[in-house]
Every structure is written in structure tokens, then in C-alpha cells.
């Protein structure tokens, strides 16, 4: 079984899908691993690092694609790269199956089997493969550093001979994986932190990190599904949250928004008036930019200034921490590949409770009903 890794070509993307320690594990499972020359450089890994653990380093990207049984990527590959894979090949990575399902039609045309890391179920058995959580952890951490580096003040409370410096105030909206990591990071830097989430269960986690949980009376409304994910709220419920947020935004120095509802546009948590009500010099970092944003003014990967308030919506913060983001991702995908290897050979068992739900297309047919429905097709 030949596993191939490409050099990622997206703007600002420095991650690599497999790090050398993972390659070593796959080689030990009797797989052969080929990597495009220079693929690891952004994550501080040289071609020699890969050679030393038994990988083949390839200069010819097209030949690498043509020989791959399993292609592991961070980001979805281009249509041209899809067309160079051999029929029956397997592709594994962040494929954006629910956001951009039509972009996966080349996989159908080529008869490919595709697995999206976004679809890996969040069951206990699949925890080691949860790449969404890995990347959310990195993004939540880096968002705080980005905010701390841009505001015109310090984070911690300082008592100096020249007087007391009050701590920065950080407001985190959405206390899932990214939000909790943002809270923990901001607390470590000494900020006073408040957080809001529609899931009541998040309250305990927020408080355990030393932050204040902001509660909204939603009149006993259901806010989460059986799997523990937030559901789309009514406009009235959203408005109650927005009013509370606007009030607390007035005193915040840094606001980090992370609220998402799987498969839907991100909820709007701050309208223009809420941003206008913020202090000069404060900053909003909207981590939901790739699904439409939580903030009315945010524009994906652009800097918006409004009355001295900065609004950022970086869509790839994990790509700015490439060593650790790659290390975590690499371990996640390697755990998944483990499920696809039997005696050194490729073995796809769609009845497996992790492999099946993660599959988007198999041998050229849609397998995932939600993705198929999103392009107006049905699973046969």
C-alpha cells in the first residue's frame, strides 16, 4: 500500500499532513510512504528527516499522485490533482464536504474513495482521530496571542511603583473546543475572562477555567442535540444572546468568537451596533469566518477597522502554528489510516462505525447522505 503526501499549496498554508514520527509508524505497518520534496519545510521538517524514517522523497508531483493508493492531505486538492489520481485511490483530509460539496464531484468522476476528517464521528473510539478538535485547540490558543499582540495594552494585572495596571478583559463567545482553549490561554496571560455559550453544559467548563459564564434566560428552550452540539436557534433566542453580548462587549479589550452550528451558517452574535459600542483600541477575532462569521462586520482573512476597533476573521490560524498543528493532525490521520490497513494492504470496511460515517464517496459513488443531498443527489 502506497501512502502519498503532497506539499500543500494553499496561500499561507505551512502544515504538512504527515510528520516523520507518523511516517515511521506507517512504515512499521508495512506501508510504503512517499512525500513530495519540501512538503515538510513549513513545519520545520526536511526531506532528510523523512528519508531517515524510511519515506521516499519525490520531486515529481504528478508521478506521486499517479502512484498513490492513499493520498493524505491537509486541505482538499485541486481539480487538476484529483484528475491525476488513479481510479480506486483513497483520499483523506479536510475536504469541506458540507461547505463545498460540489467541489468533490471530481472524486466521483475518478472513481475515488474519499474520507473527510470533518465527518469523523465524535465517539470515544474516534477521539484519537478528531482533527477538528486538534485544529480548534490551536486556533483558540493562537487567537488570544493575536489579540494580545495587537491591543495597545498588557494582559496581566501589574502593581508597579508607577501605579496599578488593570488586567485586560477578554470575552469569548462559544465555549466549545476553540473557546475553552482561548479562555485557558487568556487566563494564563492574566486576563479577566467572560464567556457565553448556548449550551448550559459549557457553563461548568468555563467556570472551571476561572472565567465567568454569562447566562441568558432562553425560557427552557432546547439548545443542543443528543450529540451535545448546539442547534440553530430561533431569531428571538439569538437576539437575547446578542443583547447580552453587546452589553459585555462595551468593556472588553479582546473578543474571540468561535460559535458554530455543524453544517449551517455560523450564528450572528455581534451586529454592527455591538462593534460600534466597543472601546477604541479593542479587537474582535472572529474564528467562524470560514462559515460566514459571528460578527456582522467581519470579512474572512481581512482586517476591518471601525471607530478604532479592529475586526479580524482569520480562517487558518492552525496554519500559523505549523509544527504543532501538523503534529496533531498527523497523529489524527495516522490513527484513521490504521483503520484502513490490514496486513499492510488497503482494506476499506464501510461497516466500521468510524470509517463508514467519515466516507464521502466510495469507488465513485456518494456514500454520505447529507453531502449527497447538498448537491441534489441521492445515495444509491
Q: Is 211 in the site for ligand NAD (CB under 6 A)?
A: no
Report the sign of the C-alpha dihedral through residues 180, 184, 189, 190, in that order: positive
Task: Assess 259 for contact with ligand NAD (CB under 6 A).
Answer: yes
With a CB cutoff of 8 Å and minimum separation 6, the contacts of 211 are 172, 183, 187, 193, 194, 195
How many residues line the site for ligand NAD (CB under 6 A)? 31
175 part of the interface to ligand NAD, by CB under 6 A: yes
**Residue closer to ligand NAD, measured from CB, 3 or 284:** 284
Residues in the chain: 380
Determine whether 130 is an active site residue.
yes
Report yes or no: 275 and 295 within 8 Å, Cβ to Cβ: yes
Of these residues, 7, 32, 51, 229, which one is catalytic?
Answer: 229
Stretch that binds ligand NAD, among 91-99, 141-149, 254-262, 274-282 (CB under 6 A): 254-262
User: Do 246 and 273 touch, CB atoms closer than 8 A?
Assistant: yes
Q: Footprint of ligand NAD on residues 116-155 (CB under 6 A)?
A: 122, 127, 130, 132-133, 136
Q: Which is nearer to ligand NAD, 260 or 327 (CB)?
A: 260
Q: If binding is defined by CB under 6 A, does position 234 make contact with ligand NAD? A: no
CB nearer ligand NAD, residue 58 or residue 170:
170
Applying CB under 6 A, does 24 fall inside the site for ligand NAD? Answer: no
Active-site residue, selected from the candidate residues 69, 81, 130, 197: 130
State in angstroms the smallest separation of the CB of 145 from ligand NAD: 19
CA–CA distance, 319 with 28 (Å, rounded to integer): 28
CA dihedral over 185, 242, 202, 293, signed as positive or negative? negative
Question: Using the rule CB under 6 A, is 198 a contact of ligand NAD?
Answer: yes
Q: How far is the CB of 7 from ligand NAD (least distance, A)?
A: 28
Interaction of residue 177 with ligand NAD, rule CB under 6 A: yes
Is residue 233 close enough to count as binding ligand NAD by CB under 6 A? yes
262 makes contact with ligand NAD (CB under 6 A): yes
Give the count of beta carbons closer than 10 Å to the beta carbon of residue 138: 23
Closest distance of CB 181 from ligand NAD, Å: 9
In angstroms, the CA 59 to CA 287 distance is 36
Q: Which of 36-44, 169-177, 354-362, 368-376 is the region at the interface with ligand NAD (rule: CB under 6 A)?
A: 169-177
Q: Rank residues 93 and 241 by Cβ distance to ligand NAD and give the closer one.
A: 241
- Do 3 and 73 meet the contact criterion of CB atoms below 8 Å apart? no
Give dist(CA 367, CA 351) in Å, integer. Answer: 12
Residue 197 as a binder of ligand NAD (CB under 6 A): the answer is yes
- By CB under 6 A, residue 290 contacts ligand NAD: no
Binding residues vs ligand NAD (CB under 6 A): 122, 127, 130, 132-133, 136, 173-179, 196-199, 202, 228-230, 233, 238, 241, 258-262, 267, 269
Which residues does the annotation mark as catalytic?
122, 127, 130, 133, 229
Amino acid at each position: 500500500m502506497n501512502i502519498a503526501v503532497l506539499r500543500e499549496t494553499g496561500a499561507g498554508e505551512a502544515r504538512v499532513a504527515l510528520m516523520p514520527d507518523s511516517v515511521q509508524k506507517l512504515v512499521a505497518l508495512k506501508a510504503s510512504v512517499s512525500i513530495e520534496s519540501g512538503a515538510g519545510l513549513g513545519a520545520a521538517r526536511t526531506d532528510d528527516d523523512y528519508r531517515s524514517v524510511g519515506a521516499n522523497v519525490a520531486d515529481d508531483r504528478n508521478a506521486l499522485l499517479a502512484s498513490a493508493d492513499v493520498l493524505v492531505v491537509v486541505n482538499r486538492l485541486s481539480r487538476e490533482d484529483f484528475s491525476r489520481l488513479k481510479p480506486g485511490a483513497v483520499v483523506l483530509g479536510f475536504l469541506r464536504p458540507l461547505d463545498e460539496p460540489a467541489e468533490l464531484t471530481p472524486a466521483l468522476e475518478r472513481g475515488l474513495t474519499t474520507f473527510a476528517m470533518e465527518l469523523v464521528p465524535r465517539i470515544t473510539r474516534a477521539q484519537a482521530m478528531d482533527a477538528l478538535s486538534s485544529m480548534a485547540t490551536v486556533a483558540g490558543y493562537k487567537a488570544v496571542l493575536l489579540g494580545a499582540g495587537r491591543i495597545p495594552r498588557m494582559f496581566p494585572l501589574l502593581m508597579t511603583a508607577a501605579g496599578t495596571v488593570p488586567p485586560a478583559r477578554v470575552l469569548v463567545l462559544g465555549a466549545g473546543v476553540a473557546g475553552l482553549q482561548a479562555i485557558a490561554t487568556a487566563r494564563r496571560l492574566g486576563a479577566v475572562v467572560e464567556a457565553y455559550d448556548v449550551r448550559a453544559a459549557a457553563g461548568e467548563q468555563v467556570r472551571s477555567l476561572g472565567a465567568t459564564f454569562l447566562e441568558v434566560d432562553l425560557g427552557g428552550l432546547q439548545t443542543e442535540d443528543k450529540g451535545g452540539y448546539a442547534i440553530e436557534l430561533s431569531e428571538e433566542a439569538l437576539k437575547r444572546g446578542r443583547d447580552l453580548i453587546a452589553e459585555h462587549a462595551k468593556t472588553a479589550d479582546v473578543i474571540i468568537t468561535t460559535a458554530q452550528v455543524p453544517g449551517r451558517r455560523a450564528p450572528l452574535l455581534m451586529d454592527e451596533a455591538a462593534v460600534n459600542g466597543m472601546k477604541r483600541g479593542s479587537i474582535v477575532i472572529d474564528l467562524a469566518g470560514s462559515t460566514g462569521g459571528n460578527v456582522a462586520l467581519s470579512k474572512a482573512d481581512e482586517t476591518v477597522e471601525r471607530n478604532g476597533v479592529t475586526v479580524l476573521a482569520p480562517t487558518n490560524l492552525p496554519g500559523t502554528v505549523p509544527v504543532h498543528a501538523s503534529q496533531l493532525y498527523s497523529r489524527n490521520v495516522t490513527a484513521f489510516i490504521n483503520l484502513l490497513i490490514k496486513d499492510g494492504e488497503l482494506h476499506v470496511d464501510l461497516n466500521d462505525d468510524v470509517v463508514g460515517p467519515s466516507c464521502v464517496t466510495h469507488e465513485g459513488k456518494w456514500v454520505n447522505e447529507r453531502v449527497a443531498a447538498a448537491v441534489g443527489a441521492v445515495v444509491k
